[in-house]
Amino acid sequence: MPIAREILLARELLERAERMNIPHEKVAAYYESLCLFESCATESLTLQEQDLVTNLRRSYTRSLLAQLPAFMSVPPHDWVVFYLLLFKLEQEVDSIIQEDAELRGNYIRFLGLGITPEYERALGELIECRKNRLSPSEPQHSS
């Protein structure tokens, strides 16, 4: 698939994610768009395409941070999936929350959900699931 087509498809996915209210569907669309962006090797992008990808990632990350208050009551497993998405967007998130106090507050409040026992348990279950899926040839790191 040509790079320009991948970028266009990723943008369409982000636009669709923007309108979704079901947490796991929203996150899935974001992840799919990020995979498309990542499949475009940076060295094969023109400067204009690189700027477009950067701007799309930043713009939709800003939008996601603005929508976080609507997801404050998600079940623990959905919170974990959102948390992992925000972690994947760490560079954009860090830059945006340094510039915007309201979005920083949304982010901090959302992360604060993770300190309850239910959310900690969900995160632990996800980590355990990941450990169990490691093949015997992959090293397991203990924390």
pLDDT in tens, 69-85: 988 888 888 888 888 89
- pLDDT tens-digit profile of 14-43? 999 999 988 889 999 999 999 988 887 666
pLDDT for the residue 122? 78
Per-residue b/e over 15-48, b at no fewer than 16 CB within 10 Å? eebeeeeebeebbbbbbbbbebbeebeeeebeee
Q: How far is CA 36 from CA 18, 43, 47, 52, in A?
A: 17, 15, 17, 13
Q: Which residue carries 């899935």 as its tokens?
A: 28
Global confidence as pTM: 0.78
